[in-house]
Structure 1
Amino acid sequence: MSKSTAGLVVAIAVLVLVLLVSGLVQHSEFVENLHRQRRLAAELRILIPERRNALLNDPAAPIAGNPEGDVALVAFFDYNCLPCREAALNFQQALKDDANVKLVFKEFPVLGPASEFAAEAALASRKQGKYEVFHLALMGFSGLIYERTTLTIAGLVGLDVEQLRRDMKDPAIAAAIARNRELANDLYITGTPALVVGDEVIPGVVEVARLQRYIADARAKANVRLSTSAKLAF
């Protein structure tokens, strides 16, 4: 075997070894990530029921759809989060498709002061009975939402802007947003959009068809729990 051939063989052997080691590392990382996701899912199945009341029954959290719906979608969002706007459209479609679903809004501004201002304004708009129309208008805006944008949109949907400014100073509004942040932290929600349905936390945009599957699954599991509770009562 010539020196050049021997050198080529060694180079190929080294390359194969590097690829094998790289593949093993990637496989190990994949397996570890899978285990991490499973551990988190198991932990959330404990955490979510413990925080069900905070998720569903905070009087400061606006609700759309059927207030008595048997399945709740709990949405964490930021008005300057572009994927949140797509998610908002999907939630509206889900409410149209299923009259027994309620949507709970959790203002969760994570993208700076302008987002904080918009969240405060949205919650303050409840005092004028215009939360949902204002929320959808903010979500329907195509650009970044600054403070002046928020107030302009508020005026366009019929809100008294001066009253809105005054209502935004209510300490209860800042307290509601703080509770949302604490709840998000408890459930390992670090960004937007995020959705809680049943005993699961789903990050990112959920397409309508997938959303319908989550709703059906949550409903089926709730029915099983009710059936089990009824049997235990006898």
Structure 2
Amino acid sequence: MLFRNLVLVTSLALLPMTGQAADLDEARVKELVYEAIRENPQIVMEAVAILQRQDAEAQAQAQASVLSDQRSLLEQDPNAPVLGNPDGDVTVVEFFDYNCPYCRRAMPEVQALLDADPNVRLVYREWPILGEGSVFATKAALASRLQGKYEAFHWALMGMNGHADEASVLRIAEDTGLDVKRLKSDMDRPEIAEHIETSMRLSQSLGFSGTPAFVIGDKLVPGFVESEKLAEAVDKARE
């Protein structure tokens, strides 16, 4: 498929050189293209660059459309935890997984952003993509909202050593002062499954391939990023 696209793209570049190009069939166009490639091999690299640019432009347009259409869900979903200033003038949305080492590295960067800018509103999209332990941790964290302890439990989970699984998550829940029996029951509530499903759908439509991933205004910031870069994106969104 890629080579076929290269042939078609390259042929478009050759058409102005051929007075009767409109009358050529596809076989003859290919023949001309192959001949041109043999004489001028860099045509292939130029065609690849054109395709890559077109793909990037198409992806950017698709992402901009999703941001426009899903802005309310991304930033105002009542089923998503909010930290920082609930009335802040700029919203940062973070997609994360408790077992993601880069998310754990990003934790102090996010905390530094919140400490430095009291007008940042942080929305968490729990996106458990690294196995059953991640799913369990996500369900437990979301269920902790019903006991008013999400923030403390979240930071504790993000700062833990080792793998997040049922045993480690429940141990941290007890240390955080949660009613573990109630927590385990609340983990099966439908709104928790809905949050995870929505995170999966949004991340796919935005083209995110891993965690962490941030949405700040109209800017998508995939991967680990330091607090200074987060602050720059916040300032840009504020402008």
**Matched length:** 202
1:231 match: none
CA deviations over 1:181-215 (Å, ceiling 9, x no partner): 11112212232111011112211011111111101
1:9 paired residue number: none
Shift of 1:36: 2.7
Aligned to 1:85: 104
- Superposition CA RMSD, Å: 2.1
TM-superposed deviation, 1:44: 1.8
Letter in 2 for 1:128: Q
1:108 CA drift (Å): 0.4
The CA distance in 2 between the partners of 1:25 and 1:85, in whole Å, is 42
Closer, same or farther: CA 210–30 of 1 in aligned 2, 3 Å:
farther
Q: For 1:156 and 1:53, how far apart are their aligned partners in 2?
A: 35
Partner of 2:66: 47
Q: Any conservation in 2 of the 1:72–1:102 contact (CA below 8 Å)? A: yes
| Inter-partner Cα distance in structure 1 for 2:221 and 2:94 | 10
Give the match's secondary structure for 2:118.
coil
Alignment of 1:74-223 (within 5 A): 74-220=93-239
Kept in 2, the 8 Å contact 1:44–1:199? The answer is no
The 1:89–1:31 alpha-carbon spacing in structure 2 relative to 1, beyond 3 Å, is farther
Q: Following the alignment from structure 2 to structure 1, what is the Cα–Cα distance between the partners of residues 224 and 49? A: 23
Which residues of structure 1 form unaligned runs of 5+? 1-19, 221-234
Q: Which amino acid aligns with 2:238?
A: R
Query: What is the CA-CA distance between 1:30 and the residue it aligns to?
Result: 5.4
CA contact (8 A) 1:41 1:200 kept: no
Q: 1:32 to 1:206 in 2, by over 3 A?
A: farther
Amino acid aligned to 1:68: D
Structure 2 CA distance for aligned equivalents of residues 93 and 43 of structure 1: 32
User: Does the Cα contact within 8 Å between 1:138 and 1:150 map onto a contact in 2?
Assistant: yes
Q: Aligned AA for 2:98?
A: Y
- Taking structure 1 as the reference length, the TM-score comes to 0.80
Distance in 2 (CA, whole Å) between partners of 1:27 and 1:97 is: 46
CA contact (8 A) 2:63 2:205 kept: no
Shift of 1:29: 4.5
- The aligned amino acid for 1:52 is R
Contact persistence 1:73–1:195 (CA under 8 A): yes
Give the aligned residue type for 1:57: Q
Aligned counterparts of 2:173 and 2:48: Cα–Cα separation in 1: 48
Unmatched tracts of structure 2, length 5 or more:
1-39
SS at match of 1:51: helix
